[in-house]
């Protein structure tokens, strides 16, 4: 054997030697986020690493390797497919189908009028009722969605932000009407308004009153709904809007810290609300970058919560998160390829230690998914969980020179963003200055140009394209449902005790104007069959509405 | 054709997905066009008013909410009702193939779906505006 090959070399010597030994393809070797990565990582890349300080065993601070000692040997991740469309009955049927297929948690998709605070009969709702999710005008719609599904037996995640407090009130009153106490229900509301201004754009009120609604929910649930995750601080939409992995990481955690600050400002004890904070990340196609992102996220959160905020309860240090595979990585062309992409992204989230997972369906780039497509997506998770062996070992990529080096670097880059955001005056001030919006628009445009130049390959789109329209069946929403939902709403208004509804809405107005917690009055509004649109309109008179400053 | 091509890029309805609209807006601007981006949550009436005020050559509507069959024809119809016949209406977003024909019957010149490149869209607008002016 060649003498020289046995000698340890440092990286400066290795790279020229390796490059000289073989040709390098003319290709892009950056991550999907355009982050430079080296051809090889070696022990020298982890110089100064300290196992206990930087990683720790799973279940130990700083939780880089996972939040539970046994991770998936103890309990698999929750398979939670986001679903909801059409009328309440359609969604109820899809939920029952998913539960029968072995899904273990529910995730409710609401239509745009609901997310934006309009009733189905509002002029602004025309054409949008039941399209992106189910229409939810009153507690009766919530009740119909969960018909035959006992609310003490499932946990439900609801993707709602601006009107989150109202949807939570609907859910709790629906449980109450099933005979289930508030302390027996479990679930999550997204309730993350900051990322709405940054990326997803389903905002209603300005930041200040929106943050007040959020802290009202923190306080109410701490006392009455102990199993409820009061917020799901979301990077998903930030990433979908075009952000890089580091931007997703940094902006999401910055928002997380802003919510902690908001809780502290209204006098809540950090250990009272922080254990119920949860997170939601994207799983994009660059597997190792994604794994490093989740690991860095856990470590950053733990360090800041313990060291900066002085949280004492270990549960305040733990970052629990849901993951969804990247919708923006899917292609309309050759849609079957999306099954493969989704499987790899799901794998990334599992290797990264997610607590729950939604896998996208192959047709979601075209329309809401068909039942067949949803089944494949769920089966993908089941194959990963039960066949591949990836759930046997905790943090199997821990100790990889590459993954550890990338985890460190992403943490450093996120810290740099935190300093920038602080210098701008914090998250809300940075939103006002369009800082996030510009950063994301820039990254998104850069990626699009890379795809158009062919620097970034998208199989079936800019390479190996076959042409012709995609061959795939899509789900059609019945256009007549809008009229049916409007009619149901009319019946509700005619049939309810109007004086009780008026009284509840005037109490809501008083609570919004004064400083008292709005949750109890929102529950009374739900019980009095006030509609979502009526409640939001009442709140708007006090809180006002938010208008974006468009930047591109 | 003299002067810059004037394009209104609009987001009708309640849909908040603005990644595509912003990328298109920037690409058209970089290609030398005058771009007016309306921002989010526009009603059909607001979009038509902007198109008239801005003397637009092209209105590009971006819809990813599934509400395209209501919102897009409404804009095209209102433009006709206002006597604005010379504005080219384009649509983009998650719009299934089977809806394209009906949108075209309603007055939409072309529909761009996921995977369309900004290069193609720029070229299409340039040739269509030149054709309309001829």
Mutant choice from B22, B36, B102 vs A, greatest count of A C-beta within 10 A: B22
Q: What is the pLDDT of residues A161-188, one digit of tens each?
A: 999 999 999 999 999 999 999 999 999 9
Chain B residues close to A125, C-beta within 8 Å: 14
Tokens of A307: 């060291």
Alpha helix ranges (H) inside A424-497:
427-432, 435-453, 481-495
Max intra-chain CA distance, chain B: 37
Is A171 in contact with A212 (CB distance < 8 Å)? Answer: no
How high is the pLDDT of residue A424? 98
Give A303-307's long-range contacts (Cβ < 8 A, gap of 24+): A303/A62, A304/A253, A304/A257, A305/A260, A305/A270, A305/A274, A306/A61
Residue A286, token pair as written in the block = 């660059």
Q: Which of B15, B65, B114 lies at the smallest CB-CB distance from A331?
A: B114
Q: What is the pLDDT of residue A393?
A: 98
Q: Tell me the residues of A at the B interface, defined by beta carbons under 8 Å apart.
A: 112-113, 115-116, 118, 124-128, 131-132, 196, 200-202, 240-242, 328, 331-333, 365-368, 441, 444-445, 448, 451-452, 461, 469-470, 474, 477, 479, 548, 550-552
- Summarised one tens digit per residue, pLDDT across range A93-111 is 989 998 998 887 899 999 9
Name the nearest CA neighbour of A77 among A109, A108, A103, A107.
A103
Based on DSSP, count helices (H) and strands (E) in chain A, helices before strands: 22, 10
Give the least confident one: A38-42, A334-338, A470-474, B106-110. Answer: A470-474
Map tokens 């469309």 to a residue. A85
Measured distance between the N- and C-terminal CA atoms of chain B, rounded to whole angstroms:
8
Cβ distance A127 to B69 less than 8 Å, yes or no, reads yes
Structure confidence at residue A158 as a pLDDT band (50, 70, 90): very high
Residues of B in contact with A552 (CB under 8 A): 21-23, 25-26, 29, 37
The CA–CA distances, whole Å, from A482 to A113, A302, B12 equal: 11, 46, 18
Beta carbons of A128 and B94 less than 8 Å apart: no
Local structure of B55: helix, strand or coil: coil
Residues of B in Cβ contact (< 8 Å) with A548: 39-40
Query: Cβ contacts (< 8 Å) between B43 and chain A: which residues?
Result: 124
CATH architecture of structural domain B6-133: 3-Layer(aba) Sandwich (3.40)
Mind telling me how many Å the CA of A552 is from chain B's nearest CA? Answer: 5
Question: Which pLDDT does position A15 carry in this prediction?
Answer: 77
Chain B contact residues (CB < 8 Å to A):
13-19, 21-23, 25-27, 29, 37-41, 43, 65-67, 69-71, 94, 96-97, 113-115, 117-119
Which candidate, A469, A199, A495, A499, places its Cα nearest to that of A328?
Answer: A199
For position A101, what pLDDT does the model report? 87
Q: Which residues on A lie below 8 Å from B26 (Cβ)?
A: 441, 445, 552
Q: Is A285 helix (H, G, I), strand (E, B) or coil?
A: coil
**Cβ <8 Å between A242 and B38:** no
pLDDT confidence tier of residue A23, bands split at 50, 70 and 90: confident
Contact by Cβ (8 Å): B32, B4: yes
The partner residues of B36 in beta bridges, in order of sequence, read: B8
State the smallest CA–CA distance between residue A266 and chain B in angstroms.
31
Alpha carbons A280 and A244: distance in angstroms, whole number: 16
With CA atoms as reference, report the closest residue to B46 among B3, B22, B12, B2: B12
Average pLDDT of span A287-313: 98
Distance CA A276, CA A139 (A): 25
Phi, psi of A187, deg, nearest 5: 165, -165
Domains and CATH numbers, chain A: 61-453 (3.20.20.240), 483-543 (no CATH)
Q: Tokens for A299?
A: 């470590």
Beta strand A231-234 with A228-229 is unpaired
A94: helix, strand or coil: helix
Closest among A99, A222, A227, A114 to A175, alpha carbons compared:
A227
Locate A132 and state its tokens. Answer: 């992106």
Q: Do B66 and A368 touch (CB under 8 A)?
A: yes
User: Over its length of 134 residues, how does chain B's per-residue pLDDT go in tens digits?
Assistant: 568 999 999 999 999 999 999 999 999 999 999 999 999 999 999 999 999 999 999 999 999 998 999 999 999 999 999 999 899 999 999 998 889 999 999 999 999 999 899 999 999 999 999 988 76
CA distances from A88 to A144, A185, A473 (A): 6, 20, 23
Chain A interface mutation, best of B7, B11, B16, B47, highest count of A Cβ atoms under 10 Å: B16
Q: How far apart are CA A94 and CA A312, in angstroms?
A: 42
Confidence of residue A471 (pLDDT cuts 50, 70, 90): low
């Amino acid at each position: 054997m060649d003498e020289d090959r046995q000698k340890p070399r440092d990286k400066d010597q290795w790279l020229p030697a390796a490059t000289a030994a073989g040709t390098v393809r003319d290709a892009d070797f950056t991550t999907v986020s355009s982050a430079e990565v080296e051809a090889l990582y070696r022990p020298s890349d982890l110089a100064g690493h300290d196992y206990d300080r930087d990683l720790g065993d799973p279940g130990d601070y700083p939780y880089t390797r996972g939040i539970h000692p046994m991770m998936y040997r103890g309990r698999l991740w929750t398979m939670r497919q986001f679903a909801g469309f059409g009328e309440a009955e359609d969604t109820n049927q899809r939920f029952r189908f998913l539960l029968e297929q072995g899904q273990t948690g529910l995730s409710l998709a609401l239509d745009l009028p609901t997310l934006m605070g309009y009733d189905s009969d509002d002029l602004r709702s025309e054409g949008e009722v039941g399209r992106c999710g189910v229409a939810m005008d009153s507690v009766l719609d919530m009740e119909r969605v969960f018909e035959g599904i006992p609310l003490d037996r499932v946990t439900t995640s609801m993707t709602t932000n601006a009107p989150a407090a109202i949807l939570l009130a609907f859910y709790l009153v629906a449980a109450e009407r099933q005979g289930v106490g508030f302390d027996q229900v479990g679930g999550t509301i997204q309730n993350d308004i900051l990322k709405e201004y940054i990326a997803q754009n389903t905002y209603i009120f300005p930041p200040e009153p929106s943050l007040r609604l959020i802290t009202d929910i923190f306080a109410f649930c701490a006392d009455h709904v102990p199993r409820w995750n009061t917020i799901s601080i979301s990077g998903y939409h930030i990433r979908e809007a075009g952000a890089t992995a580091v931007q997703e990481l940094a902006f999401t955690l910055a928002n997380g810290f802003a919510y902690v600050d908001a809780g502290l400002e209204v006098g809540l004890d950090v250990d009272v609300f922080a254990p119920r904070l949860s997170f939601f990340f994207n799983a994009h196609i660059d597997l190792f970058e994604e794994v490093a992102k989740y690991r860095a996220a856990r470590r950053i959160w733990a360090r800041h919560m313990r060291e900066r905020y002085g949280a004492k309860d270990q549960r305040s240090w733990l970052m629990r998160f849901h993951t969804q595979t990247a919708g923006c990585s899917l292609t309309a062309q050759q849609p079957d390829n999306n099954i493969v992409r989704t499987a790899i992204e799901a794998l990334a989230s599992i290797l990264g230690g997610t607590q729950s997972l939604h896998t996208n369906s192959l047709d979601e780039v075209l329309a809401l998914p068909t039942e067949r497509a949803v089944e494949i997506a769920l089966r993908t998770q089941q194959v990963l969980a039960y066949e591949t062996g990836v759930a046997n070992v905790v943090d199997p990529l821990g100790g990889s020179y590459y993954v550890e080096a990338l985890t460190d670097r992403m943490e450093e880059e996120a810290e740099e963003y935190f300093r920038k955001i602080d210098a701008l005056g914090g998250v809300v001030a940075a939103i006002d200055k369009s800082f996030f919006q510009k950063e994301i628009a820039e990254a998104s445009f850069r990626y699009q140009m890379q795809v158009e130049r062919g620097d970034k390959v998208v199989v079936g789109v800019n390479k190996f394209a076959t042409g012709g329209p995609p061959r795939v069946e899509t789900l059609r929403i019945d256009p007549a449902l809008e009229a049916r939902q409007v009619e149901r709403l009319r019946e509700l208004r005619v049939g309810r005790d109007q004086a009780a509804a008026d009284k509840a809405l005037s109490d809501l107005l008083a609570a919004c104007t004064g400083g008292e917690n709005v949750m109890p009055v929102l529950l009374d509004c739900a019980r009095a069959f006030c509609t979502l649109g009526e409640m939001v309109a009442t709140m708007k008179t006090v809180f006002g509405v938010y208008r974006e400053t468009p930047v591109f | 054709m003299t002067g810059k091509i004037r394009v209104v890029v609009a987001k009708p309805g309640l849909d908040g997905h603005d990644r595509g609209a912003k990328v298109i807006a920037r690409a058209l601007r970089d290609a030398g066009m005058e771009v007016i981006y309306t921002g989010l949550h526009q009603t059909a009436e607001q979009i038509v008013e902007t198109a008239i005020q801005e003397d637009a050559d092209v209105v590009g509507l971006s819809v990813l909410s599934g509400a395209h069959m209501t919102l897009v024809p409404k804009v095209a119809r209102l433009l006709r009702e206002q006597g604005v016949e010379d504005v080219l209406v384009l649509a983009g977003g998650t719009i299934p193939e089977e809806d394209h024909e009906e949108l075209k019957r309603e007055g939409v010149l072309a529909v761009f779906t996921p995977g369309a490149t900004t290069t193609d869209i720029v070229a299409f607008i340039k040739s269509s505006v030149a054709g309309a002016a001829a």
